[in-house]
Each structure stands twice: as C-alpha cells, then as structure tokens.
C-alpha cells in the first residue's frame, strides 16, 4: 500500500507524539483547522502545508 505525503506526515506526527494542538499553535491556526485538514475536509495552501511539514520533520 502506498501512502500519500500527507498520510505519511500524519503517521510521523503521531509516532513523534506531536499533537494537533502543538502544530496549530506553531502555525498560528486552530486545532480544529488542523483536524479538518488531516481528515480531508479542507486543504492548506502551499505555504501552510510547507510549514506543517517542516514542523513535523524538525520536531
């Protein structure tokens, strides 16, 4: 099974025990917005996605 980049990042976030709230605070958005994004209810623009990805990889 092949996972999308987004799915891989979500799995990595969970393995690293990074909460949606921590990401939200770092990106200056709400936890609800992170949840909507991770559950395919909305999309991040490219800049926000890059920050989301960087936060997960670097922490």
What are the pLDDT digits (tens) for 32-53? 999 999 999 999 999 999 999 9
Q: How many CB atoms lie within 10 A of CB 13?
A: 21
| pLDDT confidence of residue 1 | 85
Reduce the DSSP state of residue 24 to 3 states and report it. Answer: helix
Task: Write out pLDDT tens, residues 14-31.
Answer: 999 999 999 999 999 999
pLDDT tier at 59, thresholds 50, 70, 90: very high
Mean pLDDT of 6-18: 98
Cβ 37 vs Cβ 56: under 8 Å: no
| Full-model pTM | 0.93
| pLDDT confidence of residue 45 | 97
């Amino acid at each position: 099974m092949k996972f999308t980049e987004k799915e891989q990042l979500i799995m990595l976030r969970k393995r690293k025990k990074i909460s949606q709230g921590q990401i939200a605070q770092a990106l200056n958005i709400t936890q609800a917005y992170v949840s909507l994004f991770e559950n395919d209810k909305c999309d991040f623009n490219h800049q926000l996605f890059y920050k989301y990805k960087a936060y997960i990889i670097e922490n």
